Amino acid sequence: MLQSNLTQEEHTALILSNPFLEDSQIEEMQELLYQQQDWNVILGMLHVHRTAGIAWKNIKRYAIHLRKDFKATYFLKSLEIMYKGQIETARDNITLNDQLFQALDQKGIEYAIVKGSVIGQWAYGDVGLRLFGDNDLFISQDQLQETGHVLKELGYIQGSWNYETETVTPAKRKDILYLIMNSHQTYTYMKPTPECRFIDCHKIDVQFSVDLMTGNRTDSIVQEMLSRRIQTSVDEHLVWSLKEEDMLIFLCIHFYKEAIYLNEVESMKDLLLYKLLDIYGMFMREDLLNVELFVRRTKAYGFEKMVYFALHYVNEVFPHTIPDLVMDALQPESLAYLSEVLDANDVVHTWNQPIRKRFFHINRSLEIQKHSVHKE
């Protein structure tokens, strides 16, 4: 059934991107695959939203036996290649992470991996279904310097990748310090990896706050979360991760911050399906979460507004995923912020387009008309 406000191609891309299809949706997906559509557009959407791996897995599981009737065979092959590439990319990263984690463990540094491969395993059960280009390390601020020393000893440099020379261009000291002071994460650490087939360099982003993209200090919360860290298996590799409920809080805040700020919108980082699917997947995996504990912890930390934002977006795209009890417990007094874009503290745009449609409106940032309405 075509979802309201979506074109046929957008609807097909959304169905293919869902790793938790119900029986009726599987039948609908099979029908959609053999309809006349612009498959180039669908392929582009899946690529932008980093859900090509999920689409391939759905087709292989539920519709590959019908492929002789499907005219756009290049579409299937493209998805298969992307999925296999994502598996190898993930495994390269996981292997290189092992070397770093061993060095951090030897120094007694308390850390956890957030997002990325852990979510690929938890939310999807397959690291090939989620594309990630970097690895996020979560530490307390008082171990920032020592963590930096470990990374440098292993050959990592803070900077950007130069594709022409296949080397890391070091960042300026002022830029490194500015990012630490204003975003609570470090300038990316990079290390060339000529031994790898699928990645040019191994990238590490060091996070030392929960309230990202601000100067707000959350040191005590970070330390609490790290004190609860757990070991989990990712593609048969043991890694340190945040506890499931803490990880979900982190994901929700990260989604909120990237969805509301103008520079993120203009960079097309605001509404990507894979970020929403990470949250959706954690709710869909049976027995993964203690939902009551998640709500209590969110309220104890005062993160209701940010977490509610992310969960509201999940329910708009995948209806009835988040229980009403959760939404009611976290709902803030005003919901106007759900449609606002901020530049610093100023509201510069209010979206009128439905959330589900906005995910597929690639040029949505062109609609933004700046105005000076101070956010209270």
Query: CA–CA separation, 308 vs 304, rounded Å?
Result: 6
10 Å Cβ neighbour count for 8?
15
The answer to whether residue 216 scores a pLDDT higher than 80 is: no
The pLDDT of 130-148, averaged and rounded, is 91
Query: CA–CA separation, 143 vs 147, rounded Å?
Result: 6
In the chain, domain spans: 1-71, 87-242, 243-376
The answer to whether residue 67 scores a pLDDT higher than 80 is: no
Instruction: pLDDT band for 1, please (50, 70, 90 cuts).
Output: low
Predicted local confidence at residue 374, as pLDDT:
41
The pLDDT of 305-321, averaged and rounded, is 96
Burial status of residue 106 (CB atoms within 10 A of its CB: 0-12, 13-18, 19 or more):
exposed
CA dihedral 30, 33, 35, 41 (to 10 degrees): 150
Dihedral angle sign, alpha carbons of residues 79, 84, 87, 88: negative
Nearest C-alpha neighbor of 210 from the set 112, 342, 120 = 112
Query: CA–CA separation, 118 vs 113, rounded Å?
Result: 7
Pick the CATH number of 87-242 from 2.40.50, 3.80.30, 2.40.160, 3.30.460: 3.30.460
- β-strands 135-139, 201-207 pairing: parallel
The per-residue pLDDT for range 279-310, each reduced to its tens digit, is 999 999 888 899 999 999 999 999 999 999 99
The pLDDT of 132-142, averaged and rounded, is 90
Beta-carbon contacts of 189 under 8 Å, excluding residues fewer than 6 positions away, are 148, 151, 156, 157, 158, 203, 204, 205, 206
Token pair recorded at residue 29: 């997906």
